[in-house]
Chain A
Amino acid sequence: MALSSAIYNTLFKRTSTFALIIVGSAFFFERGFDLGCDTFFDSYNKGKQWKDIKGNYSQ
């Protein structure tokens, strides 16, 4: 409770900081989400994609 009201008072109460928080968290969420999805996709398809096999063709 104390934590949430502290967060509210310092960050969310003023529109300027609140908007900043939204933009900032959207940025970091997007980066993290993309990274997570790409990591999953690349490990799921290990050995099939070009980046996995290009070592066989160039020195």
Chain B
Amino acid sequence: MAARVGRICGAGLFKSNTTSSLNQISSYSTTRDWSRGRKALVGSLGILAGGAGAIIFALDRSVRASELELHPPKNPWSHNGWFDSLDHASVRRGYEVYKQVCSACHSLRFIAYRNLVGVTHTEEEAKAEAEEQMITDGPDEAGNMFKRPGKLSDYIPSPYPNEEAARAANNGAYPPDLSYITLARHGGEDYIFALLTGYHDAPAGIALREGQYFNPYFVGGAISMAQSLYNEVIEYSDGTPASASQLAKDVSTFLKWTAEPEFDDRKRMMVKAIGIFTILTMVSYYAKRFKWASLKTRKIEFKPKSK
């Protein structure tokens, strides 16, 4: 078969060239011509780099072990797995949770209403969502800022005008912007879910200050965000029972989407990349075996010259 392909291409593509292969084999090692000193230098450099890496790794581990922090359990998200897209019905419900609960304190500055189109909402719905909000625009001819209903191109308005205002309203704690929060925290959406459902009475010995609550998943345990998700705290428009864990799961999925809007495209590319690289691997494997066949099957005979 290979010979035929080679002939069809007429390019010696699959032609096995024993002599040149044999010549190559003797110059296999790229370090063959190095001096001893150079080999020693490169060798010790390698050992040094490896050792430094090991020390950094060990230091990092030791820091982690000393943290009094509960790591979030891994949940079986419907978008886990190599080829799984996000569950867009869940993302849509998560938007409802964000809008009705979290948006009281958290901004979502990097998401515009137009981003929702074709992901969680139709264009008309997204327009209606935007129009519900009054957006500050301007300045007009007199130099004044004015309010107008939102448009598709507007970003989701923030609850506070700046960080200081946010801190002042939340006992000095800053509710972070949620756009990229799943990328900004170890554990990603597992962490968000665990945090939102993990509130507890503080165990004995933990002192909470005014306006703090106990949450074992938050570093240090004392968080300034009160529990905000309870059973039936909002009602879903699609009729899904709004248990606290359902709300947390949906808003975590939504925040996964806001942080990685390219998520589905990436998973789609995964299929294509695996497909194309499978084909390329098979072709290269076949070509390699073919080219090496004569080398691997050769026999070396030593005939001393008889005097």
Contact = CB atoms under 8 A, between A and B. Distances in A.
A53 B118 CA distance: 10
**Count class of interface residues, chain B:** 20 to 34
Nearest to B274: A37
B275 A53 contact: no
B276 A33 contact: yes
A3 B228 CA distance: 73
Given A48-B78, A49-B264, A8 B88 contact: no
A4 B7 contact: yes
A50 B86 CA distance: 9
Contacts of B124: 58
A28 interface: no
Given A12-B10, A13-B10, A41 B122 contact: no
Contacts of B15: none
Given A49-B85, A58-B124, A12 B8 contact: yes
Interface string B256-288: 000000001001100110011000000000000
A44 B92 CA distance: 20
Interface string B52-96: 000000000000000000000000001000011111110010000
Interface of A: 4, 7-8, 12-13, 33-34, 36-38, 40-41, 44-45, 48-50, 52-54, 56-58
12 contacts: A4-B4, A12-B8, A33-B272, A34-B272, A40-B271, A44-B84, A45-B83, A45-B84, A45-B85, A48-B86, A49-B88, A57-B121
Interface of B: 4, 7-10, 78, 83-89, 92, 118-122, 124-125, 238, 264, 267-268, 271-272, 275-276
